[in-house]
Structure 1
């Protein structure tokens, strides 16, 4: 049976987990520390700010097959409305992460804001007279198409979800932090067997809203 697991006693995380369980119509199971029984876990919720600072030590090697949501310790008790923010690499999208973000937006009746950060190709720095505007526009158009292609199956599956596709010429962490203030949840992916990446570390440390790290 699916359930939400609360893996701490932090009040902010407890409030968030209770509301998430209510939205999904799922039971809530509380533990103190990393859970050992994850059968049927829809997601695992823990305190965010301090837990985020110790993420590698406490969760980095934990075999958690479910999405892990880290809630800031100073999150306001009353959850403010906001969109679900998804960070995705359109050149290497992770289906489980995209699906989780769409589902989170669906249960909240919220807009899904999908951010794909990109960078200029390496040879752009070698151009002697700067980057021609038509070249930059062509590169950006390619990134926009990549994102649209990556999201198409889920836009078909979750037709009721309002989606904003956003392609930004920024480093990924900076692109996501720019929109965190208006978000209710940030969704990131994590490859199997890997430690927390740079983007996850930055978001866990600085995001004012909960961050969900979803395994591939």
Structure 2
């Protein structure tokens, strides 16, 4: 079965940037690209009497645009990327439902995400948030103003690694992404002091250094297998005190991709996206890959 990368398309500059990013990724992985435009058309209500519906005009600009969008976008991508296999469809369903269904069995689901500049970063939106929280397929969010991969200063892949739950699928995703780009992997791990240190006042400098060394040792140990599996990937490790979110956001300024994990679990109010992933989604200046895991 051939690899497939699915792109959610809505005609915005962000979704078109996502389609372009996905096209380059499909070329790297020899995958086919599938564009999905989810759009429910509702007939207009005409006439002076409330509740009386009459047939709409034979030509509706919005509906005509929606019908043209997938095919025209596919044609443009094939023109820009000769040899790329691209299919497109328009689905008469709600976007979240349609995108989750289309992503089943796919390698990636790529969505556009509206940026508000380097301070605000991503504004993920309700559709993006819902898809990220529920998808069993890795989701990549792309801004319209993301520099192309290979641009000076935007090359390395960044991985946010949770040593309490170091899932293999998240780590492998990041290593493969770095290997495909022939670039370095920057691994960031945030760690917190054990609770009992909160009752002892100021932390002794020697203990602080000892705990940091221990965290760095654990990070190196977890990554040893993956270094051996991907010997061409240069790895830079960074263990930091506190949450990894701000450090990942800072690292995103020099990255072509930031990779974070999301555990498949349900909270009392629905699917859950952790605080580190949430921070990266809202503030990263690079595309973000969210990899679900058990």
Q: TM-score, normalised by structure 1?
A: 0.90
User: In the alignment, is residue 20 of structure 1 matched against residue 25 of structure 2?
Assistant: yes
Q: Distance in 1 between matches of 2:128 and 2:252?
A: 23
Q: Distance in 1 between matches of 2:222 and 2:244?
A: 17
User: In the alignment, is residue 133 of structure 1 matched against residue 198 of structure 2?
Assistant: no
What do the CA deviations read for 1:96-142 (whole angstroms, capped 9, x no partner)? 000000000000001000000112222223324x2222111111111
What do the CA deviations read for 1:173-201 (whole angstroms, capped 9, x no partner)? 11211211001111011111342222222
Alpha carbons of structure 1 residues 146 and 26: separation in structure 2 relative to 1, 3 Å: same
Alpha carbons of structure 1 residues 15 and 47: separation in structure 2 relative to 1, 3 Å: same
Name structure 1 gaps, 5 residues minimum.
none
Name structure 2 gaps, 5 residues minimum.
38-94, 115-121, 266-270
Q: Which segments of structure 1 move beyond 6 Å, counting only runs of 4 or more? A: none
Alpha carbons of structure 1 residues 26 and 56: separation in structure 2 relative to 1, 3 Å: closer
User: In the alignment, is residue 200 of structure 1 matched against residue 277 of structure 2?
Assistant: yes
Q: Distance in 2 between matches of 1:40 and 1:121?
A: 40
Task: Identify the residue that residue 109 of structure 2 maps to in structure 1.
Answer: 44
Q: Distance in 2 between matches of 1:55 and 1:39?
A: 17
TM superposition shift of 1:42: 1.3
Alpha carbons of structure 1 residues 46 and 57: separation in structure 2 relative to 1, 3 Å: closer
Moved more, 139-148 or 78-87: 78-87
Give the CA RMSD over aligned residues: 2.0
Q: Distance in 1 between matches of 2:205 and 2:255?
A: 32
